[in-house]
Amino acid sequence: MNEKELQARLQRMERMLEISRDLTSTTALEPLLNKIVALAAELTDSEAGSILLQDPNTKELRFRTATGSQSQQLTSIPVPLKGSIAGTVLTSGEPLIVSDAQADPRHYGGVGQKIGEQIHSLLAVPLQVQERRIGVLEAVNKRGGRNFSQDDVDTLMTLAAQAAVAIENARLVGALRSAYEQLGKLDKLKSDFISIASHELRTPLSLILLYAAVLRDQVEDDAEEQLDGVIRAAQRLKHIIETMLNLRYLESGQMELHPSYLDLRTIVEEVCKDYKALAETGGLVLTKRLPAEPVSVYADDEKLRVVLNNLLSNAIRFTPSGGRVLVQVRRRDDEMAELSVTDTGVGIPSYELEHIFDRFYQVEDHMTRRHGGMGLGLAIVKGLVELHGGRVWAESVEGKGSRFTVLWPLAGHPQATAS
């Protein structure tokens, strides 16, 4: 190899490195394909270049893009695997030089007829990702009436190897982007449904509760039990609606806080009193451990009670008869108060722990679960705690119980007024 040839090869290698960087930085499929066919024509000194990709459904090859003014017409032409040069290359996985396309029986004449241009010489190489062939890259009509050389084959094969990976990456990026957009639309649809359904149900539900309460005061004793059942069911539905609305307000950033200075011990005392009867009915022992000194926090009273209600409700629901539930408050340091709810219930598998604060996530299978709930309570707990500048986490041993811990900024700490 003389110095001139060596210099030419070195320049070609530098050009291929430059091309590789360019292709890997292009993630939009159509611009990428246009770059590849232009490079195929440039590097082989050809009149045109084209890319055919295999249709995953029909298995036919279809032109995706080509250089020149006839590119749009080509994209509508299917090319069969049998009886075509491109099909032969895709099937064999080997490059192919055709010096006289018109005389070659494998030449698919339908292409030239439809675009009104004659194909003389052709170089076609497979586009391959690992062992999977996805299409064919072609250089058409070597300029000056010359024949394609082995150097042209090597150059186009190198380009095809880089192009195939870039095409596959662009396809994956496009698929991920499309899936993300679809998920966004579904998420918005679900949020809108929750918002509309919740608002539409509140008025008739309030009327049901009102009339049921009035009727209970007027009916005979033997009908009171049935009306109590109606009221309990309506209150349960009201709780579900409020839960959905809380989640909606948290997600949209519309949740308003009305904070005041509160003694965390007082909130725990009152909420535990509310749940005492429910715990005893389930055969559980509900206890609390509170410090002697006040634990002052700056928080929204109602939202703080929602947090504790959800944690206590879960603990009681998932703890079998004979178990215990402990609510504890203490000062963790000069900045944070610690509120924990510990139970001796069924526990949570370790692989589920990182997901339990996700909305609509439930540890039990939704088809077989024995415990109620929509899978929103803990998502709301996390949202409300973080809105106040705190944080929450769970620890659990499957079969032995769980412990949920909330760190809440003490009154006077900067985080306590950040929201």
Last residue of a domain, one of 232, 252, 272: 252
Angle at 142 between CA 25 and CA 130, to 5 degrees: 40
Percentage of the residues of the chain whose pLDDT score is greater than 90: 37
Answer yes or no: do 263 and 396 share one domain. Answer: yes
Q: Closest Cα to residue 135, out of 107, 100, 176, 165?
A: 165
Q: Closest Cα to residue 251, out of 98, 370, 383?
A: 383
pLDDT at 31 exceeding the cut of 70: yes
Answer yes or no: do 220 and 337 share one domain. Answer: no
Q: Which residue has the tokens 């509140």?
A: 202
Residue 50's Cβ-count burial label (10 Å; 0-12, 13-18, 19+) is buried
**pLDDT given for residue 108 in this prediction:** 74
Answer yes or no: do 278 and 191 share one domain. Answer: no
Q: Which residue has the higher pLDDT, 168 or 137?
A: 137
Answer yes or no: do 229 and 266 share one domain. Answer: no
Question: For 359-367, what is the mean pLDDT?
Answer: 57
Last residue of a domain, one of 178, 196, 220: 178
**pLDDT given for residue 212 in this prediction:** 79
DSSP 306-323: HHHHHHHHHHHHTS-TT-
Answer yes or no: do 310 and 233 share one domain. Answer: no
Q: Which residue has the higher pLDDT, 413 or 132?
A: 132
Answer yes or no: do 68 and 113 share one domain. Answer: yes
DSSP 285-298: EEEEE--SS--EEE
Percentage of the residues of the chain whose pLDDT score is greater than 70: 86
Which DSSP state fits 416? G
Q: How confident is the model at residue 207 (pLDDT cuts 50, 70, 90)?
A: confident
Question: For 300-327, what is the mean pLDDT?
Answer: 93
Strands of the sheet with 61-66, listed across from one edge: 78-79, 61-66, 46-54, 132-142, 122-129, 96-98
292 lies in which domain range? 259-417
Answer yes or no: do 158 and 53 share one domain. Answer: yes
Q: d(Cα 175, Cα 181) in Å, to the nearest integer?
A: 10
Tell me the pTM.
0.51
Question: For 182-193, what is the mean pLDDT?
Answer: 77
Q: d(Cα 230, Cα 208) in Å, to the nearest integer?
A: 9
Last residue of a domain, one of 252, 278, 309: 252
Domain count, the chain: 3
Answer yes or no: do 190 and 67 share one domain. Answer: no
Sign of CA dihedral 36, 40, 43, 45: negative
